[in-house]
């Protein structure tokens, strides 16, 4: 399946997909940019004979999925003919409004609905995220069960997290670092970065007062970024707060005894890569704490669909609560329109 979208609609599905081994999800391609280099690479890789296109745009007029759609539909039509090509399209958009809805209705295309009151960055648990994942054989029921569990049991954690976000920001820490000690969980960070930025970065509060609030999220990968960012984190200005993410049960891979007789090699004999990661995570947290930097640790038992559902719900709720504390609306994004309008002008839309 080829998913055409941008922003939250693409990031949500990417986040869940990447929790799995690449083997299991290699048929789910999510294209969320319009760089011609990448369009070209994707076009070489897909085979219209066995691919379905899912076009996602809530408004039905987002320029990136529309232009991607024109391009890939054209490829499909050339290879399969119009009738067959049209059968391979599934549109995900507003139930009644917008250009994509009109097109789907007029051409009789398969379509799914984005709930009216759910923005892109909050949409992974709607048909936006669920359909491509389910199509690829991912049992999204478990994802939803995890979210439900978190809804029932996890409100305290979300509120605590929101209060910390709010307090650290008000104490002058305008940067929130997510330090994620898991390659498979890394895209959760990308998804969260959007949720955090677009929900809480606001010019006006609910009373119309100009406030210009919002911390900036930064993503770091454990252990890799210990070797690139920790120098700044420990010694630079005290303008950050840190959320570490650690996965307790990891794939079990032994470090073998090779070269074990050499200095600097022997102490690793019989250790596991999971131990190494955990020790480095612990070492980095302690080093930051010793430098007086504020650190929060999230321990995730293991990465599975239920855990992902819990994480999604937890941070969606936390972000909404934090918006309440800032007294801003976490569900709008008035600041992204102007750039779009200028771009459309330059393209001759008006």
Catalytic residues: 198, 227, 340
Residue 168 token pair: 């650290």
Partner residues linked to 111 by β-bridges: 91
The yes or no reply on residue 299 touching a second copy (CB under 8 A) is: no
Q: Which residues of 18-39 are buried (b: 16+ CB within 10 A; e: fewer)?
A: bbbeeeebeebbbbbeeeeeeb
Nearest Cα to Cα of residue 17 among 7, 3, 6? 3
The yes or no reply on residue 156 touching a second copy (CB under 8 A) is: no
Cα dihedral 227, 231, 232, 234 in deg (nearest 10): 120
The yes or no reply on residue 77 touching a second copy (CB under 8 A) is: yes
Q: Name the one range near a second copy by CB under 8 A: 135-143, 159-167, 253-261, 304-312.
A: 253-261
Interacting residues of 76 by C-beta distance below 8 A, sequence separation 6+: 48, 51, 53, 85, 88
In angstroms, the CA 189 to CA 209 distance is 31
The yes or no reply on residue 346 touching a second copy (CB under 8 A) is: yes
By C-beta, is 137 or 283 nearer to a second copy? 283
Provide the minimum distance between the beta carbon of 265 and a second copy in the complex, in angstroms, as a whole number. 6
| 168, 328, 333, 339 from 209: Cα distances, Å | 22, 10, 16, 23
The yes or no reply on residue 234 touching a second copy (CB under 8 A) is: yes
Of 201, 300, 305, 306, which lies in the binding site for a second copy, with binding defined by CB under 8 A? 201
The yes or no reply on residue 319 touching a second copy (CB under 8 A) is: no
Site for a second copy in 322-341 (CB under 8 A): 333-336, 338-341
Provide the minimum distance between the beta carbon of 271 and a second copy in the complex, in angstroms, as a whole number. 6
Residue 128 backbone dihedrals phi, psi, to 5 degrees: -55, -50
The yes or no reply on residue 33 touching a second copy (CB under 8 A) is: yes
Nearest Cα to Cα of residue 175 among 245, 239, 244, 243? 239
Of 22, 83, 117, 299, which lies in the binding site for a second copy, with binding defined by CB under 8 A? 22
8 A C-beta contact, residue 222 and residue 284: yes
The yes or no reply on residue 136 touching a second copy (CB under 8 A) is: no
The yes or no reply on residue 208 touching a second copy (CB under 8 A) is: no
By C-beta, is 153 or 238 nearer to a second copy? 238
The yes or no reply on residue 194 touching a second copy (CB under 8 A) is: yes
Q: Name the one range near a second copy by CB under 8 A: 143-151, 158-166, 174-182, 310-318.
A: 174-182
By C-beta, is 156 or 172 nearer to a second copy? 172
Residue 111 backbone dihedrals phi, psi, to 5 degrees: -150, 155
Of 153, 286, 297, 302, which lies in the binding site for a second copy, with binding defined by CB under 8 A? 286
Provide the minimum distance between the beta carbon of 65 and a second copy in the complex, in angstroms, as a whole number. 11
The yes or no reply on residue 212 touching a second copy (CB under 8 A) is: yes
Residue 244 backbone dihedrals phi, psi, to 5 degrees: -90, 140
The yes or no reply on residue 7 touching a second copy (CB under 8 A) is: yes
Of 193, 295, 320, 325, which lies in the binding site for a second copy, with binding defined by CB under 8 A? 193
Of 29, 39, 159, 296, which lies in the binding site for a second copy, with binding defined by CB under 8 A? 39
Residue 2 token pair: 């080829």
Q: Name the one range near a second copy by CB under 8 A: 56-64, 127-135, 136-144, 315-323.
A: 56-64
8 A C-beta contact, residue 3 and residue 10: yes
């Amino acid at each position: 399946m080829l998913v055409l979208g941008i922003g939250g609609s693409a990031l949500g599905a990417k986040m869940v997909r990447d929790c799995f081994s690449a083997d299991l999800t290699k048929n789910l391609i999510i294209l969320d940019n319009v760089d011609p280099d990448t369009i070209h690479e994707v076009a070489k890789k897909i085979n219209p004979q066995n691919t379905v296109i899912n076009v996602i745009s809530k408004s039905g007029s987002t320029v990136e999925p529309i232009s991607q759609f024109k391009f890939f539909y054209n490829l499909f039509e050339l290879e399969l003919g119009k009738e067959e090509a049209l059968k391979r399209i599934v549109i995900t958009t507003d139930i009644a409004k917008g250009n994509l809805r009109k097109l789907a209705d007029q051409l009789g295309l398969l379509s799914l609905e984005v709930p009216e009151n759910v923005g892109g960055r909050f949409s992974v648990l709607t048909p936006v995220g669920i359909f491509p994942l389910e199509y690829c054989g991912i049992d999204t029921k478990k994802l939803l069960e995890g979210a439900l569990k978190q809804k029932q049991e996890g409100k305290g954690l979300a509120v605590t997290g929101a209060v910390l976000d709010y307090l650290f920001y008000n104490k002058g820490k305008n940067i929130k670092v997510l330090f994620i000690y898991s390659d498979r969980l890394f895209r959760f960070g990308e998804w969260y970065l959007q949720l955090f930025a677009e929900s809480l970065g606001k010019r006006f509060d609910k009373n119309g007062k100009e406030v210009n609030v919002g911390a900036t999220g930064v993503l770091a990968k454990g252990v890799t970024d210990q070797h690139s960012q920790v120098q700044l984190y420990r010694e630079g200005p005290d303008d950050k707060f840190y959320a570490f993410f650690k996965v307790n049960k990891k794939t079990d891979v032994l470090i073998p005894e090779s070269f074990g007789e050499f200095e600097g090699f022997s102490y690793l004999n019989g250790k596991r890569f999971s131990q190494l990661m955990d020790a480095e995570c612990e070492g980095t947290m302690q080093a930051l704490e010793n430098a007086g930097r504020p650190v929060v640790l999230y321990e995730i038992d293991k990465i599975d669909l239920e855990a992902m559902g819990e994480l999604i719900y937890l941070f969606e709720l936390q972000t909404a609560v934090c918006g309440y504390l800032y007294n801003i609306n976490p569900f709008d994004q008035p600041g992204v329109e102007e750039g779009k309008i200028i771009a459309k002008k330059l393209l001759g839309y008006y």
